[in-house]
Chain A
Amino acid sequence: MLSRTASHLFWMSRYLERAENLARMLDVSFTLSLLRQKSWDTTLEISAPLSTTGTLAMYQEKHGSVTPEALLHFLAWDQDNPASILSCLKNARENAHAVRGQITSEMWENINATWLEVRKLALNQSQNPGQFFEWVKERSHLFRGVTYGTILRNQAYSFIRLGTFLERADNTARILNVNSHLIQPADYNKAPDFYHWSALLKSISAFESYQQIYREEITPATVSELLILRKDMPRALLACMNELHTIFEFIQGENGRLAKRKVAEVCARLGYTDIQEVFDEGLQNWLGRFLKDIQEIGDLIHVAYLDAA
């Protein structure tokens, strides 16, 4: 497969996954802001997506204080914000456009229709935010389903999935990281704030899974364990890393050696880690290190496969 093609496929799925995760984060923020409008200052929760996406400074420069309306516009519709849902969907579509010969026509029709529709929605932005976030998630689910159901299990499929799981690992870690700032290490095993942590679980479609696995009070410790160390939880870090590890086995060629080794290392580390060790290191530190690993894997993938050298 052409390096440039692989790069377009990889970024197509990364951007789509990013749009989906952003919609998930925003959904939580907006739900929370509805739950607590009077008794509590919600600024911290509302602005969490800004910290997660690293756009807080850009936002403040443009809008100053954080209001739900301005934040929604900035993160959902702002074309000048490269991290907005609109920008992500645009980039996903443009990458798909460049390789439309390598994806199935159903995939192209799907991602192109998403872009045409979101462009139309962006014109009046009158939709209820919750509905819009649902729609983004649904389009992303649909695209993954169409991909799974139609594309040949070849290199293209591998690079599409690499993008998905690398981005997902990155996003889950970021969501957890931002929330880890809200608790003190001493409170890891307490249940300080049911709504907050249940909303977090819901944002990554993990609420039901949590109930099934733990059947107990929601605490930062159990949530962290679920999102970091469960290999059966599709958006957990270990599950994402295991996927990457499996995908790499199908990518031919010697040039991915370093990327493969790094993924194997991270898999091994996560696979034999206890959540208490994570807390001993400090959740924030641990997650910071993990995000650096993800960054490094992304760079190694670029060097090995994607940059036409």
Chain B
Amino acid sequence: MHALTLPAAHLFDEMLLPSGVVRPHYQRFAQWLHEQSPKTLAQKHQEADLLFRRVGITFAVYGDESGAERLIPFDTIPRIIPGAEWQHLEAGLRQRVSAINAFLHDIYHEQHILKAGLIPEEQVYQNAQYQPAMQGVALPHQIYAHITGVDIIRHNDGGFYVLEDNLRVPSGVSYMIEDRRMMMRLFPELFSRHTIAPVEHYPSLLLKTLRHATHVDDPTVIVLTPGHFNSAYFEHAFLAQQMGVELVEGRDLFVKNDRVYMRTTAGHKQVDVIYRRIDDAFLDPLAFRADSLLGVPGLLSVYRNGNVVLANAIGTGVADDKSIYPYVPDMIRFYLSEEPILNNVTTWQCRKPQEMDYVLAHLSELVVKEVHGAGGYGMLIGPTASKQELEDFRVRIKSNPSNYIAQPTLSLSSCPTFVDSGIAPRHIDLRPFVLTGREITMVAGGLTRVALKNGSLVVNSSQGGGTKDTWVLED
């Protein structure tokens, strides 16, 4: 038998009720788990570790002086989503991403939404992610966010909430695929007992999306990486290989006669679509950060003239900023005339004096985030913060209110996970990847991240988070 810790009564667990009763969609898995000896499973865990290390699915941790590569811990208990729940999520994601693309096009063209007064102008213009250089630039099919990673959590009311829309260079999709491969390698019998929606065709959907991103027939598509010291390099190489396209670094590209070329053994070759995994600021040292060695001098000018496509577009960050996030439901109503399918988390904007007062008065109950923060850095989790931390944040908020937003402390749902003491509930989130090309496509599921520390709500891999395979059951 496995030493099993039951979820606390006030939490939502994906598999178990607080009484220990297994939810219907987990019953076959629970039965299988029951049949396995703890020793076998421990062995499989070791095997997975070994395989991942050999395959080299590692990531470099920023700030780690030794430059060592670490494995993102992988947990063998899958996160299972019933088919009906996924259909709801998928419909909501399509709607959300459509509205966001419409918003981005609008912001960089007529700005109807600002004129209608739905979003204050300064929220856009004062946003560091807003790129004036994109104003009036025509993009093929008006697509800005070709690839979106939407962070979703389930609250203890059982409902799904969108935490964040990642519109710049969302990562993690390679783990989604490798986690699935690993599960199939370790536990093939589980896949004959369940009907699980496949995810391994994601790279082919991505390639299709990228090929559609240009008007050029039979375009040359490439993946642009900052290089093999980047923490997500594995993923860049993985996607390039799976799509069968070149993985290039900035120094492999150059601009000539208003076109982008790559240097090859057979001479120069024109590039049509760049799936770039480099932030806006580093793309072109002539236009953005002059000290960037990662980018391509002159790229922006070629891009503005429509002679190369970047996926995602430059300036998409203006829409995934935490200060714009509260307006996404309004965008959906404004552009699509629909009611939002997915919930937004209630968000207080500290730039509004009234809302800041509320935040300061309830600091110990709230999660406070920097508007431009990412990776779980620069945030305050009120209920678990020390007095000193609360006071520090109070000062920081007061000195720069518009840099902060606050949200209620959402209790992320949990999922049983292997830990030292046996199997215990750990908090998880979900990042589905939405592709926008000729049509919106996505594979069922996404990346489930799990906070491996007991009680922790931080699932980021850079801070000790792990991953799980995500199953959408086809029922």
Contacts and interface: CB of A to CB of B under 8 A. Distances in A.
B262 A2 contact: yes
A305 B56 contact: no
Nearest to A159: B265
A177 interface: no
Interface stretch (A50-58, A62-70, A98-106, A218-226): A98-106
A155 B265 contact: yes
Nearest to B51: A109
A133 B459 CA distance: 45
State the main secondary structure of chain B at its contact with A.
mixed
A241 interface: no
Interface string B8-47: 0000000000000000000000000000000000000000
Nearest to A301: B265
B56 A3 contact: no
B248 A2 contact: yes
Given A2-B263, A253-B265, A253-B266, A108 B56 contact: yes
Contacts of A308: 251-252, 263
Contacts of B223: 101
Interface string A1-33: 111111000000000000000000000000000
Interface string B238-250: 1011000011110
Nearest to A251: B265
Contacts of B240: 101
Interface residues of A, number: 28
Nearest to A307: B263
A3 B241 contact: no
A3 B54 contact: no
A5 B223 CA distance: 13
Given A101-B238, A102-B241, A308-B251, A6 B265 contact: yes
B454 interface: no
Given A101-B237, A253-B267, A109 B55 contact: yes
B261 to A, nearest CB: 11
A100 B237 contact: yes
Contact of B251 (A4, A5, A102, A252): A4
B53 A116 contact: yes
A5 B246 contact: yes
Interface of B: 53-56, 223, 227-228, 234, 236-238, 240-241, 246-249, 251-252, 262-267
A101 B227 CA distance: 12
Interface in A99-148: 99-102, 105, 108-109, 112-113, 116
A97 B234 CA distance: 9
A155 B54 CA distance: 26
Nearest to B262: A2
A4 B263 contact: yes
A255 interface: yes
Contact of A101 (B54, B247, B264): B247
A155 B56 CA distance: 24
A34 interface: no
A180 B56 CA distance: 44
B56 A98 contact: no
A109 B228 CA distance: 16
B1 to A, nearest CB: 35
Contacts of B262: 2
Nearest to A103: B241
Contact of A109 (B54, B246, B247, B251): B54
Contacts, number: 73
B241 A101 contact: yes
B265 A305 contact: yes
A186 interface: no
Given A98-B228, A112-B54, A1 B263 contact: no
Nearest to B242: A101
5 contacts: A1-B266, A3-B263, A97-B56, A100-B234, A112-B56
B267 A255 contact: yes
Nearest to B234: A100
Contacts of B249: 4
A116 B266 CA distance: 35
A3 B264 contact: yes
A107 to B, nearest CB: 11
A102 B265 contact: no
Given A4-B251, A102-B241, A113-B54, A97 B263 contact: no
A213 interface: no
Contact of B246 (A2, A252, A306): A2
A309 interface: yes
B269 to A, nearest CB: 9
Chain A CB within 10 Å — which of B53, B248, B262, B264 has the most? B264
Contacts of A306: 265
A100 B56 contact: yes
Given A99-B237, A155-B265, 4 more contacts: A1-B264, A101-B237, A101-B238, A253-B265
B307 to A, nearest CB: 20
Contacts of A102: 241, 247
A252 B237 contact: no
Contacts of A116: 53-54
Contact of B252 (A3, A105, A113, A252): A3
A202 B223 CA distance: 46
A253 B249 CA distance: 22
Chain A CB within 10 Å — which of B53, B227, B249, B266 has the most? B266
Interface string A247-269: 00001110100000000000000
Contacts of A5: 246-247
Contacts of A159: 265
Nearest to B53: A116
Contact of B264 (A2, A97, A98, A109): A2
Top-6 shortest CB links A-B:
A253-B266, A101-B241, A101-B237, A101-B240, A305-B265, A101-B247
A108 B54 CA distance: 9
A300 to B, nearest CB: 13
Contact of A100 (B241, B246, B248, B266): B241
A97 B264 CA distance: 19
A112 B251 CA distance: 26
Nearest to B58: A112
Nearest to A7: B265
Contacts of B234: 100
B266 A97 contact: no
Chain A CB within 10 Å — which of B240, B241, B246 has the most? B241
Nearest to B254: A308
A250 to B, nearest CB: 12
Contacts of B265: 1-3, 6, 155, 159, 251-253, 255, 305-306
A308 B248 CA distance: 12
A69 B246 CA distance: 46
B228 A97 contact: yes
Contacts of B252: 2-4, 308
